[in-house]
Structure 1
Amino acid sequence: MTRIDFYVLANNDPLARLQLVCKLAEKAIGQNQKVLIHSDSDEQLITLDQTLWDFRALSFIAHQLLPANHVFSTSDNDPVHLSTGAPAPDRTLLINLAEQVPPFFSRFERTLEVINEEPDVQSAGRLRYRFYQQRGYPLHHHKI
């Protein structure tokens, strides 16, 4: 069963939220996990793409920004994919930035939900929390 982790930031800065996503992706890569960062916003993924480039001065998080209708091939082997669409079959960790629970979340070993104090983000996060809770998924909280 997919483990669900909620990371809750004590601020409403959208950039801080994306920087936390970068930290989580970097940690996952260090544990040899393949990551999908999912959003329902192309603009958010473009900003995240740039944030991943600038995240650390002396390192780089290898990633690929994919269109929603991307057809996967063996050349799609970057450890992090950014997409509004369905995942490649080899992904083990989902970082969800979308407002809704992605229909494919249960394909993953873990799903990370990154929440901050933006009212819209909080409200959507509470709905996703109830969704997972009502279906019996193991939930874990991390206050940042």
Structure 2
Amino acid sequence: MAVAEFHHDAPDKLRHACALVAQWHAAGRRVWIHCDNDALAARLDQMLWVFEPLAFIPHVRDGHPLSDATPVRIGRDPASAPADAVLLNMSHDVPAGFEQRAHIVEIVSQDPADRDPARTRFVRYRQGGFDMQTRKAEA
């Protein structure tokens, strides 16, 4: 069954995203980070370069010549995401084609403006038959 996992009350949404990506990469998972704008994609790209000073999280923006060979990709078109990748949704909308994904992760900050769209996404995933999981964000 497909899983939609919500990490709520994140004090720093981008830092929590980097921590999750580092964990998944260490476990050998492929990751697609779905961003709805280039500014956010650029920020996450930069943060992943410096997130863990003694570690390297190989990642590229979608469209890069090494995209297919890189385990962590950042992009705007979830249809480009590898079928086996965890989809980390950093958008306020449900990603197109979400029904095809096996594992979607959402990070919800403490900001009320972030929580309302997250509630809407939660309902959409549940209506789509996803196994819903929630946990408190650590970072």
- Maintained 8 Å contact 1:3/1:111: yes
Query: What does 1:1-144 align with in structure 2 at a 5 Å threshold?
Result: 1-11=1-11, 16-66=12-62, 70=63, 76-85=68-77, 86-144=79-137
Distance 1:74 1:107, change over 3 A: farther
- Where does the alignment leave 5 or more consecutive residues of structure 2 unmatched? none
Could you tell me how far apart the structure 1 residues matched to 2:2 and 2:14 are? 23
- Where does the alignment leave 5 or more consecutive residues of structure 1 unmatched? none
- Maintained 8 Å contact 2:60/2:66: no
Instruction: Give the CA RMSD over aligned residues.
Output: 1.9
Could you tell me how far apart the structure 2 residues matched to 1:135 and 1:27 are? 27
- My pick for the range that moved more, 22-31 or 122-131, is 22-31
Query: TM-score, normalised to structure 1's length?
Result: 0.85
Corresponding pairs, count = 136
Write out the 4+ residue segments of structure 1 that deviate beyond 6 Å after TM superposition. Answer: none
Query: TM-score, normalised to structure 2's length?
Result: 0.87
- My pick for the range that moved more, 86-95 or 129-138, is 86-95
Q: Displacement, 1:75?
A: 5.7
User: What percentage of aligned pairs have identical amino acids?
Assistant: 30
Q: Deviations over 1:26-65 (max 9, x none)?
A: 1111221110000112101100111101101111111001
One-letter identity of the residue aligned with 1:43: A
